[in-house]
């Protein structure tokens, strides 16, 4: 038979899923670098024909800013230290903290990659062929 109400184990609330902000921060920086590669590939022919490099510089600057924003969002969304989370559900707090750190590092690396992708735009002529 069922136990009395006072003896029943309390029902556990389901732990929250990872924040969409964390996932956007985690994927935002690398996606900005991939988009920069594609946009530069599309625009280089136009830049050569028009003898203007400003769209290439604009795309690189936007990619650097997006990657930096993703890194900052990851750092902000990481939450408190994992030990400060809910003692009944330590895993979500630890997961958010871990994903936030990884997102910040991924964003910082993406900033460096976007800057490295900007360097050939600064140095090479768009009409230069191999």
Q: What is the pLDDT of residue 9?
A: 56
- The residue ranges of the chain whose pLDDT is under 70 are 1-18, 79-90, 92, 130
DSSP assignment letter at 34:
H
Spans of all domains in the chain: 19-123
Q: Measured between alpha carbons, how far is 15 from 9 in angstroms, rounded to an integer? A: 17
Location of structure tokens 């003898």: 51
Specify the pTM: 0.76
- Give the C-alpha separation, 83 to 97, whole Å: 10
């Amino acid at each position: 038979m069922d136990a009395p109400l006072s003896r029943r184990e309390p029902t556990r609330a389901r732990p929250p899923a990872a924040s969409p902000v964390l996932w956007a921060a985690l994927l935002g920086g690398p996606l900005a670098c991939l988009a920069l590669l594609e946009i530069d590939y599309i625009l280089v022919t136009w830049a050569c024909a028009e003898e203007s490099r400003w769209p290439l510089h604009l795309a690189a600057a936007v990619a650097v800013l997006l990657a930096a924003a993703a890194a900052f969002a990851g750092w902000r969304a990481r939450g408190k230290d994992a030990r400060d989370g809910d003692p009944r559900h330590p895993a979500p707090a630890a997961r958010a903290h871990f994903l936030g750190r990884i997102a910040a590092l991924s964003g910082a690396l993406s900033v460096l990659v976007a800057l490295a992708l900007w360097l050939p735009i600064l140095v090479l002529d768009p009409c230069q062929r191999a």
